[in-house]
Amino acid sequence: MQELESFESGELKPLLEALLLVSDDSVPATELARATGAAPGEVSQALAELAAEYESANRGFQLREVAGGWRLYTHPAYHDQVGDYVLSWDARKLSQAALETLAVIAYHQPVTREGVRAIRGVNSDGVIASLREKGLVREAGHEADRGQAVLFGTTRLFLEHFGLKSLRELPPLEDFAPDEESKRFIRERLSGRQIGSTLEEAADDLEDERDLLDNDLEAASGLPDDGEALGDE
């Protein structure tokens, strides 16, 4: 077996910086170890030291461990200025509808299109398709019942964009509720109890609309309720 090369800390860190600068996604320490030939433990230690050095020096960028890997980010204190500087920033911003849909999927995944609609109250098919194109949402299987409806969940890119190591780092949604009633409503929504009842109510409403339509058609045709033709005795 080929022996792993031992680096001086002063040699390994600049190499890691160079690799991270050309990486579009977060890179696991094991992958960086393969690229440098250093031991994984040595790489992990060097990355942690770099992150601490950047924070201590108050640099304009940070090194964070997100989505199972490491990635360089601009310092949050300068996000507004960086946003104004990058010309394509506006094109990459998510709309309010996209943010709402993404939040529903993130906190209630895996969830169907009908589940998203039940929570938001509007059809979200177009928004979900857009989020999939952006790589923030993916298909996560099919529901066992209700016609094998497609289930949706978030992606690794979602974790990277929002600086999360895992979904467990999502802030409790109840923290954003203004009062206890709102917190209770959120708990019910996230538990799934209200989604089922909302879908059942929607089905009942549709059945009522069909009955009304049938009655209107019967009235328009001039037929009595028993279905006999006019003039029959």
On the question of pLDDT at 148 being above 90, the answer is no
pLDDT score at 6: 52
Q: Which two tokens stand for residue 13?
A: 């860190």
Please state, in angstroms and rounded to a whole number, the distance separating the CA atoms of residues 177 and 188. 13
| Residue 205 CA: distances (Å) to CA of 59, 118, 199, 210 | 58, 14, 10, 9
**Among residues of the chain, what percentage have pLDDT more than 70?**
64
Mean of all residue pLDDT scores within the chain: 76
Give percent above pLDDT 90 in the chain. Answer: 30
The residue written with tokens 């467990």 in the block is 168
Both tokens of 92, joined, read 């990459």
Token code pair at residue 157: 């890119």
Report pLDDT digits (tens) over 2-49.
455 555 545 899 999 999 998 878 899 999 999 999 999 999 999 999
Q: Is the Cβ–Cβ distance between 143 and 227 less than 8 Å?
A: no
Least confident interval from 59-73, 89-103, 130-144, 159-173: 89-103
Q: How confident is the model at residue 229 (pLDDT cuts 50, 70, 90)?
A: very low
E-assigned strand segments in 50-136: 61-66, 69-74, 111-112
Q: Rounded to the nearest 5 degrees, what angle is found at the Cα of 122, between the Cα atoms of 182 and 199?
A: 75
Asked whether the bond before 110 is cis by omega within 30 degrees of 0, the reply is yes
Contact present, 98 and 105 (Cβ < 8 Å): no
Convert the pLDDT of each residue in 178-202 to its tens digit. Answer: 567 666 666 665 555 444 444 444 4
This prediction's pTM:
0.46
